[in-house]
Amino acid sequence: MVRKQDNIPVNSMADEFTQGIAIDKMSIKQSDFKAKEYYEEAHQSHRDEGYTFHIVEKGSVLMEIDFQQYEISAPVIVYMHPNQVHRMLKCSNMTVCSLSIKSENLNEDYLYFLEELAPAKPLSLSKDFSAKIFETFSLCLSLSKEKDNKLHHLILKDSCNTLVGLIISTFLNQEKFSAKLSRVELISKSFQQLLDKNYYTVKRPNEYATLLNISVHYLNESVKTTTGVSVSQHIQNRIILEAKRMLYHTDKSVKEIAFELGYDDYPYFARIFTKATGISALTFRNKRHD
């Protein structure tokens, strides 16, 4: 009998050992990945409890992140926000350095940038950045094992933040990120942050405009100027993404998902999903069995 999966699995950290920081370096053989027990664990779609960075040092891997597949070859950084659902599909012999860190352990400025960067595509590393990042990771990993040190957690947290800062800088260099945002860019960023936290309950552009203390017209103008997409479309896209995640990765009924996403009118939600994706919610769910 197949066990009913009511929620998307979350890889949690054992806080009594990690205090919100998990760091490890693993060598994975292709033959290990083919073993049933390891394959099922790796192939299981999940979220991570913390902000997660996989730095592939050697080899390659095929990953799926929120329905997008990525062929990844070393050296590369894969950054995943806690909201994102992902899994490994296959891999070659590879070595990967992994860090997962909860928000309370992150420098506030770094946390801001991580929210801004998500979702981020896997990033190939240049030779110079690669050496610097792997050297810093090795220091963090070494410090993680010095548990008798009276300042163990503080030192580990600070060293991991240095690593996160280096990783963020590589993404910002690629994105040509501007530290000085215009007024409309700031409004657009603020809206998207509010949306990610409130899409379950706040679904109208005027409600977000009220939260930002601006007019609906100015909000829509700012968001459309910076992203090319209207506020209403952003709201719908965020809801549809979460609906897809639950349809594909859980066994909740469409009605249960509609209710969880804040829709008491199940047929209305079903119509929104079909209009947005071109297929019904049940048809989308059945894709996972194809």
DSSP string of 251-286, one letter each residue: ---HHHHHHHTT-S-HHHHHHHHHHHHSS-HHHHHH
pLDDT at 241 over 90: yes
Q: Does residue 11 belong to any structural domain of this protein? A: no
CATH number of 59's domain: 2.60.120.280
Q: Which residue has the higher pLDDT, 56 or 13?
A: 56
CA distances from 82 to 49, 100, 143, 158, 236 (A): 6, 10, 25, 21, 20
- Whether the ω angle into residue 267 lies within 30 degrees of 0, i.e. cis, is no
How far apart are alpha carbons 166 and 201 in whole angstroms?
A: 36
Among 127, 144, 175, the domain-final residue is: 175
Quote the tokens at residue 109. Answer: 């400025």
Segments forming the whole domain that contains residue 257: 183-289
Q: Are residues 142 and 126 in the same domain?
A: yes
Assess whether 160 and 191 both reside in one domain.
no
Grouping H, G, I as helix, E, B as strand and the rest as coil, residue 183 is helix
Percent of the chain whose predicted confidence (pLDDT) is above 90: 63
Q: How far apart are CA 22 and CA 125, in angstroms?
A: 22
Q: Is 40 helix (H, G, I), strand (E, B) or coil?
A: helix
pLDDT at 1: 33
Residue 8 lies in a domain: no
Q: In terms of domains, do 95 and 209 share one?
A: no
187 and 169 share one domain: no
- Helix, strand, or coil here: 100? strand
Give the residue from 175, 193, 224 where a domain finishes: 175
* Residue 55 forms part of a structural domain: yes
Neighbours of 74 (CB within 10 A): 18
Question: What is the pLDDT, as a whole number, of residue 89?
Answer: 86
Using 50, 70 and 90 to split pLDDT, how confident is the model at 10? Answer: confident
Q: Are residues 42 and 171 in the same domain?
A: yes
CB 78 within 8 A of CB 72: yes
- What is the average per-residue pLDDT within 63-80? 93
Q: H/E element holding 204?
A: none
Pick the closest to residue 246 from 235, 263, 234, 258 (CA basis). Answer: 258
Q: How many domains does the chain have?
A: 2
Which of 220, 214, 279, 207 shows the shortest CA–CA distance to 244? 279
Neighbours of 174 (CB within 10 A): 13
Q: What is the pLDDT of residues 129-152, one digit of tens each?
A: 889 999 999 999 999 999 889 999
pLDDT tens for residues 20-49?
999 999 888 777 666 655 566 667 888 898
What are the angstrom distances between the C-alpha of 194 and each of 12, 43, 51, 150, 177? 25, 32, 19, 39, 21
Q: What is the pTM of this model?
A: 0.83
159 with 54, same domain: the answer is yes
Residues paired with 69 in a beta bridge: 64
For range 269-284, the mean pLDDT: 94
How many Cα neighbours within 13 Å face the side chain of 139? 15
